[in-house]
Amino acid sequence: MKREGPVLTGKDAWIARLKAGETVSFREGGNSMAPRIKSRAKCTYTPVQSMADIKVGDAVFCRVGGSYFTHLVTAIKGDQVQISNNHGHVNGWTPIHHVYGKVIKVEP
């Protein structure tokens, strides 16, 4: 059986699965969320479908501008969320439709 359309990998696959309502797990590198999330820790994400799914302090997988992060929600205003790392650096504001998943579990 031939597949329809492109095969999605990496962040594109994670986003597609989250938007489809699936829970996903993956590892990301970097120390911007340490010690809460260490580099290469396995994070499990549940889909974010509305503002009711998140609150200040949640770690989320999102897009800010052209960059993708697992960072913290540090403020909420209307349908926008402010995204920052665990060390206080603010990445910026993004609309809720660019917040794809919320971290529900972190494993080494």
Q: Which range (1-5, 35-39, 51-55, 104-108) has the least confidence?
A: 1-5
- How much is the pLDDT for 7? 80
Q: What is the pTM of this model?
A: 0.91
- How much is the pLDDT for 1? 55
Amino acid at 92: G
Q: Which residues contact 61 (CB under 8 A, 6 or more apart)?
A: 14, 18, 43, 45, 68, 69, 70, 99, 100, 101, 102, 103
Question: What is the per-residue pLDDT across 27-70, written as a single tens digit (0 to 9) for each?
Answer: 989 999 999 999 999 999 999 999 999 999 999 999 999 999 99
* Domains along the chain with CATH numbers: 10-107 (2.10.109.10)
